[in-house]
């Protein structure tokens, strides 16, 4: 039986994740961990014993309230901490690091109903 670990970084949000925990078999096969990007060591327990890690999100400041340099440094420290935990686990064989939907989301040329894919990268000047 495959076991899945979900690391939940709520960024202060109490967002409901029942859409995941209510999936068939989730009570037996899904473990939810809480981690903090400010504390990369908090990822170690969830990563321990995993064969693969999908790193799929970082915090996005849609309101531009935090300097870009601050967010960038936070994301770099977190990614390096997660990669370090993967190396130290001795069990992780693969790490998949993905981009965020925001990479393709903000483009003035996109019209309603447009398929947003790699052809719609964000304007670098935004």
> What is the residue extent of each domain of the chain?
4-105
First to last CA, the chain: 45
SS3 96: strand
3-class secondary structure, 102: helix
Match 């300097």 to its residue by tokens. Answer: 67
pLDDT number for residue 35: 83
Q: What is the pLDDT along the chain (126 residues), one digit of tens a residue?
A: 566 777 766 555 556 788 888 999 988 988 888 888 788 888 899 899 999 998 887 777 767 888 888 888 888 888 898 999 999 999 999 998 886 666 555 555 656 666 666 666 656 665
Query: How many residues in the chain?
Result: 126
Q: Could you tell me the fold of the domain covering 4-105?
A: Rossmann fold (3.40.50)
Single pTM value for the model: 0.68
β-sheet bridge partners, residue 32: 6
- Which residues make beta-bridge pairs with 108? none
Taking the C-alpha atoms of residue 73 and residue 67, their distance in angstroms, rounded to an integer, is 10
């Amino acid at each position: 039986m495959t076991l899945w670990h979900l690391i939940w970084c709520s960024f202060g949000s109490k967002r409901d994740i029942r859409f995941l925990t209510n999936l068939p078999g989730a009570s037996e096969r899904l473990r939810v961990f809480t981690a903090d990007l400010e504390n990369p060591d908090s990822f170690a327990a969830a990563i321990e014993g995993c064969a693969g890690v999908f790193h799929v999100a970082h915090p996005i400041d849609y309101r531009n309230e935090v300097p870009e340099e601050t967010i960038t440094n936070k994301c770099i420290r977190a990614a390096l901490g997660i990669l370090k935990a993967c190396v130290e686990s001795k069990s992780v064989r693969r790490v998949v690091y993905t981009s965020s939907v925001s990479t393709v989301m903000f483009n003035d040329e996109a019209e309603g109903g447009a398929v947003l894919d790699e052809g719609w990268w964000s304007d670098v000047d935004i």
